[in-house]
Structure 1
Amino acid sequence: MSKNKYLIVLAGMVMQLSIGSIYAYSKWIEPLSKELNWDAHDTKTGFSLAICFLGLTAAFMGKFAQKIGPKKAGLIAAAFLSIGLLGSALSVKIGSLYLFYLTFGVLQGIGLGFGYIVPVYTVVKWFPDRPGFASGIIIMSFALGSLLTSFLIGPLCASMGLSGAFGVLGIAYGICMLGSALYLANPTSITNQHLHEDLTAKQIITDKRFIALWLLLFLNVCGGIAIISKAAILGEEVVGMSTAQATMFVAIIGLFNGIGRLFWSSISDKIGCWTTFMIFIGINAVCFALIPTFSTNQISFQTLTFIIIAGYGAGFATMPSFVKDIFGADKYGPVLGYILTAWSAAAFAGPLLLGLTADISIFYLFAVLLLIALLVGLWLKTLLLKPVTS
């Protein structure tokens, strides 16, 4: 049966919207603390594990996912994510933090990994002339998932308890991902086509261009993911938001995460990926440096945060076409998978750095990291100007 490429996009968006629920994590912190007396630092490990296994799955299972096709890989994503959230419900019910790490972190993380790479790999193949836009609109949905979930967590916890909230979301997102997986497919012209020679892991990780791209993503992600991991708490403690205001803050963060992904990826199709990266990294460096000065003003703090998150999301949306431009369409899949391990590393590094001190001056450190990213970008530019040897 012939597939409609726009329905393929819709299916990919539904899957990304479902797995994007992980970015509403900060809304789980307070109910977990109130009901189970779990410290925010302890529960944050569950979030870091989920993102870590997302990246590891993307790196080491990307080739497998492409081999079995988007439908089967999507079904695996749905199963792991649903089991992970249902397991989280059980862990909360019996009060086991380590079971929470296993289910919310590891199992859900594997589902997130499959659910992240499958739509991106698939949809980009349907839009070879606009890879930046295609990856941007899909990855935008991941960010918008946090917007939806941030509004659901509170009412669900209030109506059916914390365990019930995890269970309902596990079932609901599992059903959505199931429907998405059953429609996803590669274009007929390339189904089962495998004419290129795969790069080995050693060839990928020793390529200086890969190292530069990995560092760019890692340094860009650290600050953004640190904010996302404690967004609600930052809003309440830094600028004195109420619980309702903090919920809206988290939701709007999800919105700007999505807007940034679509906007900057579309820009990259026009001015190129390298230039795009340098612009949003430079803007974010300035915003991080300004936050300590304007942290007492709620509007200024939120505005700077939203700009940062837009640039944070831009890195994910622009990276697929950046990799494709450098390594070619036939090799970008495995290379992108390994680059996403930078996300895994940043999932631990970013929140860890933010937790070094409660002082808002820690944001200067993230500004410095982005200045280093600009230097890495300049290094990458020199590498791209050199002829590539086989």
Structure 2
Amino acid sequence: MELKNTKNRWLMVLSAIAIHISIGSVYAFSVITDPVKSIFNVDASVVKWAFQITILVMGFSAAFLGQWVTKIGPKKSTTIAGICYGLGILGTGLALQLQSLVLFYIAYGLIAGIGLGVGYITPVSVLVKWFPDRRGLAVGIVIMAFGLASMVFGPLMQYLFETIGVTSTFYSLGVIYTLMILLAASYIENPPDGYRPKGFKPVKTKSTTSHSIDFTVKQALKSKRFYYIWIMMFINITCGIALIAEASQISQFQLSYTPMQAAGVVGLIGAFNGLGRIFWSAFSDFFGRPITFIIFFLIQMIAFFFLAQIGQEFLFLGVLMLIITIYGGAFATLPAFLSDLFGTKQLGTILGVVLISKGFAGLLGPAIYDYVKTMTGSLDITLKVFSGLFVLAFLIALVMQFSVKKSQKQVQSKTA
């Protein structure tokens, strides 16, 4: 039944958006690379280690702090996320002012990375409880905000770099992010036990779970399907994040864009990253999560193979944005996929463990890109290596589809 005297669940969505659009600014890192490498007088690959560290820490903090986040509640965990992420960005400004590369890694990589991980899983775990009737829509909107963040902050960062300077930009953004997240923390909370919105009616979709129990984390870790989805996400993130980390530089090289024009591409990436999260999550509700992932990897296998060979500006950008929609769409589809497979009781913690894949992928993806690009001097060969990884992901997605179909038939035969 509907419980009275509860907060407005759509304002809860707005609070979650404020959190995700703040921490999602990490995807604008390619705009940061060139100005920061000039300050430290190092290669771009050295600067990118901060990005790789923050994604690694995000994955591990989301995984290992998941149960702790559940225990202390969303208000406290969001507050901690805001403090950590804000301090990390402010510390980045200090690192640049002192020209300390070590402090840069600690602030942007470690401290901000903890805030990123906690801030990512908290809103998702809250909204699945507030929206039992529209779970995919609510989570999709918030995770879309994470993807859209670089559309807002990419061009803004470049503008601020050129007007107030790099150090002052990080000080300013650190204050903005902290205030946004702490304001959201003042409102966000779990619904009362047994909460159901007015007129709630359970809706079965093509991706409805084929089991009747909620898995614990330990039970999920004993399932082959957990490792199928972990590897699929790892490959998808490895390839996608390598492209995102180099988006500004690739645009300048491939399309002869200026840094400001390239920052516009980073902003466009943010838009399509966000839009892809809404489109593909809705697509997966209709066609099923396993089929959606099969389509993901088939498209990217082809797109990565041919991307560097495309000389026409709009076609190049079109293929690039298609890849980005899928990169974002996988994240939006993931919580629903996990709830299909393992239920919702420990969804936040299971999601956190899967996000360890993002941590390793964030470390490995840019490293593979830099190594192959340096060894071959060819963007085409580099992207073809990533295309090859999608062949493996595609095969695993086929195995997952077979496994889910088999289970559904077994359930149907028992209930017939």
Q: Name the TM tier (shorter chain).
A: over 0.9
Q: Distance in 2 between matches of 1:272 and 1:326?
A: 12
Q: Distance in 2 between matches of 1:258 and 1:107?
A: 25
Find out whether 1:11 has 2:15 as its counterpart.
yes
- Between 1:21-30 and 1:231-240, the stretch displaced more is 231-240
Residue ranges of structure 1 left out of the alignment (5+ in a row) = none
- Aligned to 1:31, which of 26, 30, 35? 35
What corresponds to 2:297 in structure 1? 281
Distance 1:105-1:69 versus aligned 2 partners, 3 A rule: same
Once the two structures are superposed, the pairs formed by residues 119-268 of structure 1 within 5 Å of their partners are: 119-189=123-193, 199-201=216-218, 203-268=219-284
Distance 1:129-1:281 versus aligned 2 partners, 3 A rule: farther
Superposed displacement of residue 21, structure 1: 0.6
Find out whether 1:375 has 2:395 as its counterpart.
yes
Q: Which runs of 4+ in 1 moved over 4 A?
A: none
Residues 208 and 383, structure 1, Cα contact 8 Å, conserved in 2: no
Larger Rg: 2
Q: What is the letter of the counterpart of residue 63 of structure 1?
A: Q
- Aligned to 1:81, which of 59, 81, 85? 85
Find out whether 1:300 has 2:315 as its counterpart.
yes
**What's the RMSD between the two structures over aligned residues?**
1.7
Find out whether 1:314 has 2:333 as its counterpart.
no
Once the two structures are superposed, the pairs formed by residues 314-333 of structure 1 within 5 Å of their partners are: 314-333=329-348
Q: Distance in 2 between matches of 1:243 and 1:159?
A: 14
Secondary structure at 2:165 match in 1: helix
Q: Distance in 1 between matches of 2:192 and 2:110?
A: 34
What corresponds to 2:200 in structure 1? none
Distance 1:204-1:173 versus aligned 2 partners, 3 A rule: same
Cα deviation, 1:20-70, whole Å, max 9, x if unaligned, reads 110000111111122331321011000011111111111011111111111
Cα deviation, 1:73-117, whole Å, max 9, x if unaligned, reads 100100000110111111111111111000000000000001100
Distance 1:127-1:197 versus aligned 2 partners, 3 A rule: closer
- Between 1:231-240 and 1:39-48, the stretch displaced more is 231-240
- Aligned to 1:334, which of 349, 366, 389? 349
Residue ranges of structure 2 left out of the alignment (5+ in a row) = 196-212, 412-416
Q: Distance in 1 between matches of 2:259 and 2:192?
A: 50
Residues 147 and 254, structure 1, Cα contact 8 Å, conserved in 2: yes
Cα deviation, 1:261-294, whole Å, max 9, x if unaligned, reads 0110111122211111112222122211121321
Q: Distance in 2 between matches of 1:352 and 1:190?
A: 47
- Between 1:57-66 and 1:354-363, the stretch displaced more is 354-363
Residues 85 and 166, structure 1, Cα contact 8 Å, conserved in 2: yes
Q: What is the letter of the counterpart of residue 379 of structure 1?
A: V
Q: Distance in 2 between matches of 1:332 and 1:251?
A: 31
Residues 158 and 260, structure 2, Cα contact 8 Å, conserved in 1: no
What corresponds to 1:290 in structure 2? 306
Q: Distance in 2 between matches of 1:197 and 1:20?
A: 30
Cα deviation, 1:192-235, whole Å, max 9, x if unaligned, reads xxxx997355x443421110010110111111100111110111
Residues 133 and 269, structure 1, Cα contact 8 Å, conserved in 2: no
Residues 261 and 316, structure 1, Cα contact 8 Å, conserved in 2: yes
Residues 135 and 265, structure 1, Cα contact 8 Å, conserved in 2: no
TM-score (normalizing by structure 1): 0.94
What corresponds to 2:94 in structure 1? 90
